Amino acid sequence: MQRKISQDPLAPEFSSESVQVVSRKTVFKGFFTMLRLRLRHRLFRGGWSHIFERELFVRGPAVGVLLYDPERDQVALTEQFRIGALVRAAGPWCLEVVAGMVEEGEDLQEVARREVQEEAGLQVQELHFIHSYMPSPGGSSERLHLYCALVGLSGAEGYFGLEQENEDIRLRVFQADRLYKAMAGDFGPGENPVDNAATIICLQWLALHRDQLTGR
């Protein structure tokens, strides 16, 4: 039987109903959870796949917030230790946007404002939605919601984070143009590159909307 293909080029051919989960087992539960699933799904060429196994890294939604001062054309990024960057050439202290996990039932914008206060000690003047995306859908359930917060960055650099959450955060302030160059690969030996997806996406958004935010 021939399947009916939507004329909308962005419409997906399948939905979650086109997946059959045969079994689901928790193989690890600590700071994060790992599941092992046995499943099958429909195929583009017709019929169903064989039953196969996949591990799923279970991580809930999170927010990421770019801190921007339109009067000074400055951006603030956090610098902190990241276990996943142990073998990174520049070392495991990464430059990133403010970020935090969202608990069930929490409002995304409220979480964004709270994380800005905890990780940067700043009050948000305006909050602009950037995008929502899945960082690694091939093996993780995480969805990241990105925002740009307009803040005042005069004298903003300092040390922040919650001790009970083992956070040791340094807030760094940069001219926006310098970060655009670093994002494009213009950084020298000993400099910390901008090399994580959330920060790059936020800076690209800022490059497109900077004139609007500054009122130029």
CB 60 within 8 A of CB 165: no
CB 102 within 8 A of CB 61: yes
In a 13 Å sphere around the CA of 91, the CA atoms on its Cβ side amount to: 9
In the set 142, 165, 167, 191, the catalytic residue is: 165
Per the annotation, the verdict on 17 as an active-site residue is no
- Candidates 110, 122, 194, 117; CA nearest to 161 is 117
Tokens of 94: 């990464």
CB 194 within 8 A of CB 182: yes
- Annotated active-site positions, please? 165
